[in-house]
């Protein structure tokens, strides 16, 4: 079978592209490497999302599942496979997966978000050894932190939102940030400062200690070099993400840097027949939000439709 469109990536953008491709009855295959639902489901299933319009608050996992359900109900085929190869051929493109399958598509929409990625590590003693025994980089379920004393490291939106997510069930949450100010959104900063989260600015975790599980975190004030030993049960390191190797350069698409795809206003890339949307695209004024990725996905799906069907009105 030759699909009208193969969507690479099953996060909000890829799934929205699927829903809109189906409104035009395009046969659609969505391939997702990590978790259908994307970062929402993989990274923060129990964290509330407050900026997806029409939901005042919804847990990431639930939102991811609703996106997935909507795409499946629309008639898109969704498969858990990692795309490793895209090649041109007479019918359009051959898309190869790590699982050994090859799918044919007349067009492709790339919606891989930030790609496969790994949480950044502090690289301090005890961090690797106690990973999974109190050291973590994401919160799968806030209930795991009930009555725990927790250090959260980082000053971006992810760290602040994690601190806010667990502050109610936890016994104590200390947010350790290496600067005197946060880089997170004002909304999150205000919420943290108004919450029981205790903030240690200008501070760095230099080691994590414990026998078989986290028992202490050693924190230095980087201005005074004063040392504090905190008795804690968990350390959540949330200092950003590092992408794993990206296959993009091999696919012959014009990129911005090594990992972002240059797109035109219609979400077309430099390769005719390949479109892109979501966190992986770059254009002036690009903002990485779920809702903007969804908007770009609609444009990409409609561009695919016009490319394939050339309707009289386009
Ligand atoms: P981020 O914005 O890159 O923040 C990473 C934080 O970790 C920074 O405060 C950084 O400190 C700190 N850091 C980095 N390396 C460190 C080290 N070795 N030791 C100590 N601290 C270190 O990452 P993020 O919070 O994961 O967010 C990524 C992107 O997603 C951002 O654009 C963010 O706005 C977005 N996001 C949006 C939402 C939302 O819209 N609700 C939610 C989550 C994330 P410095 O500040 O000193 O560099």
Question: For residue 269, how many other CB atoms are within 10 A of its CB?
Answer: 23
Model pLDDT, residue 114: 81
Residue range 261-282: mean pLDDT, rounded: 97
Token pair in block for residue 214: 């986290």
Residue range 165-169: mean pLDDT, rounded: 95
What length is written for the chain?
314
For ligand 1, pick from 118, 156, 190 the residue to mutate: most ligand atoms within 8 Å of CB: 156
> Rounded CA gap, 37 and 113, in Å?
11
Segments of the chain assigned to CATH 3.50.50.60: 2-116+244-308, 119-241
Select from 201, 111, 192, 194 the least CA-distant residue to 157: 192
Residue range 49-74: mean pLDDT, rounded: 95
As a whole number, the mean pLDDT across the chain is 95
> Rounded CA gap, 314 and 311, in Å?
6
Query: For residue 39, what pLDDT band results from cuts at 50, 70 and 90?
Result: confident
Between 21-25, 74-78, 245-249, the lowest mean confidence (pLDDT) is in: 245-249
Model pLDDT, residue 36: 82
Residue range 259-278: mean pLDDT, rounded: 97
243 pLDDT above the threshold of 80:
no
Residue range 211-238: mean pLDDT, rounded: 97
Query: In which residue are the tokens 């990536």 written?
Result: 9
245 pLDDT above the threshold of 80:
no
Distance 23 CA to ligand 1 centre (A): 37
Model pLDDT, residue 241: 86
Let me know the angle formed at the C-alpha of 267 by 261 and 270, rounded to the nearest 5 degrees.
Answer: 55
Model pLDDT, residue 242: 83
For ligand 1, pick from 42, 158, 175, 279 the residue to mutate: most ligand atoms within 8 Å of CB: 158
> Rounded CA gap, 63 and 48, in Å?
9
> Rounded CA gap, 148 and 157, in Å?
22
Model pLDDT, residue 43: 78
At 189, give phi and psi (nearest 5°). -60, -50
Distance 159 CA to ligand 1 centre (A): 7
140 pLDDT above the threshold of 90:
no
Model pLDDT, residue 162: 94
pTM for the full predicted model:
0.80
> Rounded CA gap, 155 and 153, in Å?
7
Q: What atom in ligand 1 is closest to the CA of residue 155?
A: 9
Model pLDDT, residue 45: 87
For ligand 1, pick from 240, 260, 288, 290 the residue to mutate: most ligand atoms within 8 Å of CB: 240
Q: Is 240 in the pocket of ligand 1 (CB under 6 A)?
A: yes
Output the CA torsion sign for 131, 132, 135, 141.
Answer: positive
Between 37-41, 219-223, 246-250, the lowest mean confidence (pLDDT) is in: 37-41
Model pLDDT, residue 118: 83
Q: Is 161 in the pocket of ligand 1 (CB under 6 A)?
A: yes
CA nearest ligand 1 atom 28, residue? 240
CA nearest ligand 1 atom 4, residue? 156
Model pLDDT, residue 117: 79
Higher pLDDT: 49 or 307? It is 307
114 three-state secondary structure:
coil
Model pLDDT, residue 249: 84
Superfamily of domain 119-241: FAD/NAD(P)-binding domain (3.50.50.60)
Q: Is 149 in the pocket of ligand 1 (CB under 6 A)?
A: no
Query: For residue 273, what pLDDT band results from cuts at 50, 70 and 90?
Result: very high
Model pLDDT, residue 244: 78
Contact 74, 18 (CB under 8 A): yes
Distance 177 CA to ligand 1 centre (A): 10
Distance 157 CA to ligand 1 centre (A): 6
Residue range 115-124: mean pLDDT, rounded: 89
Q: What is the 3-state secondary structure (H, E, C) of 121-175?
A: CCCCCCCCCCECCCEECCCCCHHHHCCCEEEEECCCHHHHHHHHHHHCCCCEEEE
Question: For residue 231, how many other CB atoms are within 10 A of its CB?
Answer: 10
CA nearest ligand 1 atom 29, residue? 157
Model pLDDT, residue 247: 84
Model pLDDT, residue 87: 96
Let me know the angle formed at the C-alpha of 239 by 258 and 159, rounded to the nearest 5 degrees.
Answer: 125
Distance 102 CA to ligand 1 centre (A): 37
For ligand 1, pick from 154, 289, 291, 293 the residue to mutate: most ligand atoms within 8 Å of CB: 154
Q: Which fold has domain 2-116+244-308?
A: FAD/NAD(P)-binding domain (3.50.50)
Q: What atom in ligand 1 is closest to the CA of residue 179?
A: 47
Contact 314, 15 (CB under 8 A): no
Select from 235, 25, 37 the least CA-distant residue to 133: 235
Model pLDDT, residue 52: 95
Query: In which residue are the tokens 């799968």 written?
Result: 140
116 pLDDT above the threshold of 80:
no
Q: Is 196 in the pocket of ligand 1 (CB under 6 A)?
A: no
> Rounded CA gap, 262 and 254, in Å?
6
Let me know the angle formed at the C-alpha of 140 by 66 and 177, rounded to the nearest 5 degrees.
Answer: 115
Residue range 283-302: mean pLDDT, rounded: 96
């Amino acid at each position: 079978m030759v699909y009208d469109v193969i969507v690479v990536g099953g996060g909000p953008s890829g799934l929205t592209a699927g829903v809109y491709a189906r409104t035009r009855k395009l046969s659609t295959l969505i391939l997702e490497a990590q978790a259908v639902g994307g970062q929402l489901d993989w990274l923060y299933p129990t964290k509330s999302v407050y900026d997806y319009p029409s939901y005042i608050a919804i847990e990431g996992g639930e939102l991811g599942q609703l996106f997935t359900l909507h795409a499946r109900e629309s008639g898109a085929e969704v498969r858990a496979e990692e795309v490793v190869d895209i090649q041109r051929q007479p019918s359009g493109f051959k898309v190869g997966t790590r699982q050994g399958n090859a799918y044919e598509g007349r067009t492709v929409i790339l919606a891989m978000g930030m790609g496969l990625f790994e949480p950044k590590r502090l690289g301090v003693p005890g961090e690797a050894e106690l990973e999974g025994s109190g050291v973590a980089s994401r919160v799968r379920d806030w209930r795991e932190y009930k009555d725990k004393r927790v250090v959260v490291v980082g000053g971006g939106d992810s760290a602040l939102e994690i601190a806010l997510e667990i502050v109610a069930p936890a016994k104590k949450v200390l947010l350790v940030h290496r600067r005197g100010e946060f880089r997170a959104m004002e909304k999150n900063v205000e919420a943290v400062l108004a919450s029981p989260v205790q903030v240690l600015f200008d501070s760095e975790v230099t080691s994590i200690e414990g026998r078989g599980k986290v028992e202490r975190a050693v924190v230095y004030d980087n201005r005074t070099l004063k040392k504090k030993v905190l008795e804690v049960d968990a350390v959540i390191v949330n200092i950003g993400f590092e992408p794993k190797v990206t296959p993009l350069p091999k696919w012959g698409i014009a990129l911005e840097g090594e990992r972002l795809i240059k797109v035109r206003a219609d979400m077309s890339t430099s390769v005719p027949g390949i479109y892109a949307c979501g966190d992986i695209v770059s254009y002036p004024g690009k903002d990485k939000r779920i809702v903007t990725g969804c908007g770009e996905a609609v444009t990409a799906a409609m561009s695919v439709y016009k490319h394939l069907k050339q309707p009289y009105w386009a």
